[in-house]
Amino acid sequence: MDGHPDQFDGRARPRSRLRSTALNTPLAESLSVCLLAASLAWAVLRPAGRSEALIAVPAAALAIALGAVSPQHALAEAERLGPVVGFLAAVLVLAHLCDVEGLFTACGAWMARRAAGRPRRLLAAVFVLASAVTAVLSLDATVVLLTPVVFATAARMGVRSRPHVYACAHLSNTASLLLPVSNLTNLLAFEASGLSFTRFAALMALPWVVAIGAEYLVFRRFFADDLPAVEGGADDGPAPELPLFALVTVGCTLAGFVVASAVGIEPAWAAFAGAVVMAGRALARRRVTPVAVVRAAAPGFLAFVLALGIVVRAVVDNGLADALRHVLPGGSGLLALLGVAALAAALANLINNLPAVLVLVPLAAPAGTGAVLAVLLGVNIGPNLTYAGSLATLLWRRVVQEREKQVGVGEFTRLGLLTVPAALIPAVAALWASLQVIGV
């Protein structure tokens, strides 16, 4: 990556003037915006369940072919995203194989026993479990694997599923703040922050706890009518055996992330090692097939992420970066961090949080680590406001609809209007306090 002096990252501003283009500037701007809008719209709608990459990959190729982004910039963006995409593939496989081993079934049984027939206790159990799963196995595991378990647990207890299922959606975003590996946005911010794995986690621990706590208080109030005590809902059946092999492998993988960060190795290698160990066991026992392992890595979604990065780079090169630079607050004071986080949250809901972090992190990096982490707070908490705010929320909606459940846009938005400011403002204050105490 050092071979690209014009690379758009946290160390340098984009040098669009060095880019030779076949298009004049207004036309390049219009084309870039249209390609981004088409890619995101397809990802949101996914007609007939077709891959997100079906539009994004041709859009990236068209942007390069027509000169909206130079081949050099497109290659630099692909190289920057390569380790992130590799990590995402490994974690998706790891989470899927944990499900095969029975980890999420055991989680559902634990929630039911912990709740003892009380919906409020079930909500607390979902918050604890979803926060842990999101932080350790990434938000995709919470959306794809835990949400169905929560549905089944609520049905077995005879309680309303709405508050508990909504918690999975919100915590797939909010609870992904803790570790660099919890979210794709975290990995992108982590690269620009200059922090070690442990320092990143230390700085984000207090904002993580504060944001989750704020969400829980809002949920208790918002869903008060859905959380009455019920009779006969306790689960007195035998507890399933914990899948120790999966738990040990996940623990070793987390330790591998810390070691890899300390010695300057990409976290993708630690995730890859964990996925290989789990896959080897599952394949040897014929619990999965090689094709199932490849599908678990979601190759279409990985291609979408790479292609979207290139399309976003085209938008950045053609004016968006300059426009945002004028409104992005500078400095590392509390008010500046609040402004950065608010802008990031707004942009995430306008263009999705992945493009938002790709655009804002390089612009915030010159202001220091605090600004980069404030962007992360905005793009991870902000998407709880609208469906389009994050890909995780869109995926969650599909999981819910597959169970013939309807999620009202109005209700989702009303809940988001309460939770986003209630979680974002104190989380930014907690980040500022952590920076004062821990430093960078």
- List the beta bridge partners of residue 9: 12
Q: Burial-class residue 157 by CB neighbours within 10 Å (0-12, 13-18, 19+).
A: buried
Confidence of residue 152 (pLDDT cuts 50, 70, 90): confident
Residue of 138, 139, 109 whose CA lies nearest to 125? 109
pTM: 0.82
Separation CA 108–CA 151 (nearest Å): 9
Which one has a higher pLDDT value, 435 or 114?
Answer: 435
Per the CB < 8 A criterion, the answer to whether 178 and 205 are in contact is yes
pLDDT (tens digit, 9 = 90+) per residue, 316-358? 888 888 888 889 998 889 999 999 999 999 999 988 898 899 8
Beta strands, E only, 256-295: none
| Res 290 pLDDT > 90 | yes
Average pLDDT over residues 121-128: 94
Per the CB < 8 A criterion, the answer to whether 433 and 339 are in contact is no
Separation CA 279–CA 94 (nearest Å): 8
In this prediction, residue 169 carries a pLDDT of 93
Which one has a higher pLDDT value, 208 or 18?
Answer: 208
Confidence of residue 373 (pLDDT cuts 50, 70, 90): very high
Q: How many other C-beta atoms lie within 10 A of the C-beta of residue 405?
A: 13
Q: What share of the chain is helix, strand, coil (3-state, %, to 5)?
A: 80, 0, 20
Confidence of residue 210 (pLDDT cuts 50, 70, 90): very high
| Res 20 pLDDT > 60 | no
Of the chain, the percentage scoring pLDDT greater than 90 comes to 46
Separation CA 281–CA 244 (nearest Å): 13
Residue of 81, 19, 3 whose CA lies nearest to 309? 81
Residue 326: partners with Cβ closer than 8 Å, 6 or more residues away: none
Tokens found for residue 337: 């961090």
pLDDT mean across residues, the chain: 86
Separation CA 313–CA 306 (nearest Å): 11
Residue of 433, 74, 90 whose CA lies nearest to 250? 90
Per the CB < 8 A criterion, the answer to whether 268 and 83 are in contact is yes
Residue of 15, 2, 3 whose CA lies nearest to 362? 15
In this prediction, residue 122 carries a pLDDT of 92
Confidence of residue 64 (pLDDT cuts 50, 70, 90): very high
Backbone torsion region of residue 116, taken as left when φ is above 0, otherwise alpha when ψ lies between -120 and 50, otherwise beta: left
In this prediction, residue 410 carries a pLDDT of 86
DSSP 194: T
| Res 220 pLDDT > 90 | yes
DSSP string covering 329-355, please? Answer: PPSSSHHHHHHHHHHHHHHHHHH-HHH
Tokens found for residue 420: 């986003």
In this prediction, residue 234 carries a pLDDT of 54
Separation CA 271–CA 87 (nearest Å): 6
Per the CB < 8 A criterion, the answer to whether 183 and 138 are in contact is yes
pLDDT (tens digit, 9 = 90+) per residue, 395-424? 788 788 777 666 677 888 999 999 999 999
| Res 375 pLDDT > 80 | yes
- List the beta bridge partners of residue 12: 9
DSSP 239: P
Average pLDDT over residues 88-107: 88
Which one has a higher pLDDT value, 279 or 391?
Answer: 279
Per the CB < 8 A criterion, the answer to whether 159 and 122 are in contact is yes
Separation CA 129–CA 271 (nearest Å): 21
Separation CA 126–CA 87 (nearest Å): 26
